């Protein structure tokens, strides 16, 4: 037994780590196949369908189309490339193609994370950190459905890595790589440009003269914004700032609630749940070791990265675990530092903790992801609606409208989100009543009552219509759920004028 332990710690592990290229290939393959085996069957998230639609329009029109919100232009371009490339291999479903995009960039992000931790610390600690991220449930989850998250994480990590190469090795070309990847990060997901703040810290602490540091910071900011602006330029030329104004003014969109909001408390709860108590303790111990070992530059960099993203995404109204994965990368780096700090006999305990963190997390997180790999409840619900209602009928929805439009042939009507009773009455009078007067039937799904804080939608229906339950079908909430499944019954109702108002329109 003793000889086996000696072989493991003195022969096998060093040989694996020294064979760096082989290990990196194996690390990528591990991360890739774990994510591929759990890839979502359908479009788990609204953004997945929105991305697939924008990418298809980009391919067909040979002009860049944008997603909702800030547009995510580089994400759309890369998604279009994946759709076009995978068609060569017979992949006809654009949703599968954009899901595969997240799988690939999720795995590539694991390798880039290894590079960054290795540049910050050493290869041994990067070994632990890379494997921990490869099997981290929250990162696996965001890698299984098409969205901008894995792309922006990859670009942010690449920018930080090349900036450290410039600062530590003196390779000037790496500085321009860092600029390019920072611009790509903003073009893939604008809000993740916040990584600029910890990068500025690196320049300020590792740079040579004060004048040189200030110059590099200005060049990094200016050129990276120019790179990002190239991708947003078509949007500005076509629509000006209207799409950004919509993000800020629409209640359905994400809004920043201030530096300390009720969501922030929830976000730390999500962190605790994602890492589990033992994972948080190991990360804190890693931070303590960094302090004890006088690695203060690295410690402050990791803390700054963590708090910048945690305090931003942790105070966004629509926040969820998926947004915070980028904030939690420093915690995994700290775990790797802690586990890699033990040598000889003490390393047995470190390996025991390491394998517990890997296996306990996968044991808990895989079932929800495996369920989405086998089932696409949003798609099943949309097809059930199509099979239940007449072909010429209309269906009222809000967020679920994008699924219904993609998988149901009916007319899908997105109701207005407003607190103005007159606007809501006008919607029913001008849009719904003509359909009913023509003899066609109108249905609505239960989630249509979301975003009705002022109850104007309910009141308008109550005044002029009655609802008849048609049936219900299982669905899955994608808004805040990631590793915690939220399954529910989505009810379908038929909208009819009140009997006492005769057969005429509900609104005189």
Question: Mind listing the pLDDT tens digit for each residue in 282-300?
Answer: 999 999 999 999 999 999 9
Residue 422 belongs to a domain? yes
Q: Quick one: 216 and 194 in the same domain? A: yes
CB atoms under 10 Å from CB of 210, counted, come to: 9
Residue 462 lies in domain: 377-501
Could you tell me how far CA 255 lies from the centroid of its own chain?
16
R_g of the chain, CA atoms, integer Å: 25
Kindly report the backbone phi and psi dihedral angles of residue 82, in degrees, each rounded to the nearest multiple of 5, phi listed first.
Answer: -65, -40
Mean pLDDT value across residues 13-17: 54
Q: Quick one: 370 and 417 in the same domain? A: no
pTM beyond cutoff 0.85 = yes
Tokens of 390: 């007449």
Q: State the DSSP string of 90-122.
A: T---HHHHHHHHHHHHHHHHHHHHHHHHHHHS-
Q: Quick one: 283 and 176 in the same domain? A: yes
Domain finish residue from 329, 350, 374: 374
Could you tell me how far CA 438 lies from the centroid of its own chain?
43
Residue 9 belongs to a domain? no
Q: Which of 237, 220, 250, 279 is nearest to 69 (CA)?
A: 250
74 CB contacts (<8 Å, ≥6 apart)?
151, 184, 187, 188, 231
**Residue 349: per-residue pLDDT:** 83
Mapping DSSP to helix (H, G, I), strand (E, B) and coil, where does residue 135 land? Answer: coil
Q: Quick one: 51 and 167 in the same domain? A: yes
Place of tokens 């890595």: 161
pLDDT class of 505 with cuts at 50, 70, 90: very low
Residue 71 φ/ψ region, left for φ over 0, alpha for ψ in the -120 to 50 degree band, beta for the rest: left
Beta bridge mates, 465: 497
Q: Quick one: 269 and 189 in the same domain? A: yes
Q: What is the pLDDT of residues 129-174, one digit of tens each?
A: 999 999 999 999 999 999 999 999 999 999 999 999 999 988 999 9
Q: Quick one: 360 and 456 in the same domain? A: no
Residue 282 belongs to a domain? yes
Place of tokens 């007067």: 437
More confident residue, 47 or 257: 47
Q: Quick one: 425 and 457 in the same domain? A: yes
Residue 5 belongs to a domain? no
Q: Quick one: 197 and 164 in the same domain? A: yes
Residue 470 CA to residue 88 CA, distance in Å, equals 43
Residue 189 CA to residue 149 CA, distance in Å, equals 7
Q: Quick one: 327 and 387 in the same domain? A: no
User: Is the distance from CB of 415 to CB of 396 less than 8 angstroms?
Assistant: yes
Q: Quick one: 407 and 361 in the same domain? A: no
- Count of the separate structural domains present in the chain: 2
CB atoms under 10 Å from CB of 57, counted, come to: 15
Helix (H) or strand (E) segment spanning residue 275: helix 262-292
């Amino acid at each position: 037994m003793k000889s086996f332990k000696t072989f493991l710690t003195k022969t096998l592990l060093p040989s694996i780590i020294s064979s760096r290229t082989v290990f990196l290939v194996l690390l990528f393959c591990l991360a890739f196949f774990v994510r591929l085996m759990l890839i979502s069957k359908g479009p788990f998230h609204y953004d997945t369908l929105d991305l697939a639609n924008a990418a298809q329009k980009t391919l067909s029109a040979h002009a860049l189309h944008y997603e909702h919100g800030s547009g995510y232009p580089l994400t759309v371009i890369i998604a279009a490339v994946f759709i076009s490339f995978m068609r060569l291999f017979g992949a006809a479903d654009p949703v599968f193609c954009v899901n595969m995009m997240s799988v690939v960039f999720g795995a590539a992000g694991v390798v880039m994370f290894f590079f960054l931790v290795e540049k910050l610390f050493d290869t041994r600690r990067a070994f632990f950190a890379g494997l921990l991220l490869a099997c981290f449930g929250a990162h696996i989850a965001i890698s299984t459905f098409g969205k901008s998250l894995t792309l922006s994480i990859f670009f942010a990590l690449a920018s930080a890595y090349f900036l450290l190469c410039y600062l530590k090795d003196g390779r000037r070309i790496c500085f321009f790589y860092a600029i390019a990847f920072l611009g790509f990060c903003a073009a893939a997901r604008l809000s993740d440009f916040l990584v600029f703040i910890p990068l500025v810290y690196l320049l300020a602490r590792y740079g040579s003269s004060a004048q040189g540091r200030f110059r590099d910071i200005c060049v990094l900011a200016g050129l990276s914004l120019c790179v990002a602006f190239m991708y947003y330029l078509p949007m500005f030329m076509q629509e000006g700032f209207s799409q950004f104004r919509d993000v800020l003014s629409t209640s359905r969109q994400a809004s920043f609630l201030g530096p300390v909001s009720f969501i922030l408390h929830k976000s730390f709860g999500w962190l605790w749940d994602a890492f589990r108590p033992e994972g948080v303790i190991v990360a804190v111990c890693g931070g303590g070791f960094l302090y004890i070992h006088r690695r203060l530059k690295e410690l402050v960099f990791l803390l700054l990265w963590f708090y910048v993203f945690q305090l931003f995404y942790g105070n966004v109204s629509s926040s969820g675990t998926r947004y915070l994965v980028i904030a939690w990368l420093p915690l995994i780096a700290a775990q790797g530092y802690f586990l890699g700090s033990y040598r000889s006999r003490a390393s047995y305990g470190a390996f025991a903790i390491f394998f517990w963190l890997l296996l306990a997390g996968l044991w808990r997180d895989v079932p929800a992801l495996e369920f989405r790999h086998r089932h696409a409840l949003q798609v099943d619900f949309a097809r059930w609606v199509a099979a239940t209602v007449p072909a010429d009928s209309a269906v009222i929805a809000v967020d679920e409208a994008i699924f219904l439009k993609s998988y149901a042939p009916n007319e899908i009507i997105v109701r207005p989100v407003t607190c103005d009773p007159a606007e809501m009455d006008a919607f029913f009078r001008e849009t719904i009543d003509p359909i009913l007067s023509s003899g066609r039937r109108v249905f609505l799904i239960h989630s249509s009552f979301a975003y009705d804080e002022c109850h104007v939608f309910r009141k308008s229906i109550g005044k002029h219509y009655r609802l008849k339950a048609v049936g219900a079908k299982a669905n899955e909430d994608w808004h805040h759920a990631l590793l915690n499944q939220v399954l529910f019954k989505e009810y379908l109702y038929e909208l009819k004028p009140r009997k006492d108002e005769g057969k005429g329109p509900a609104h005189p």
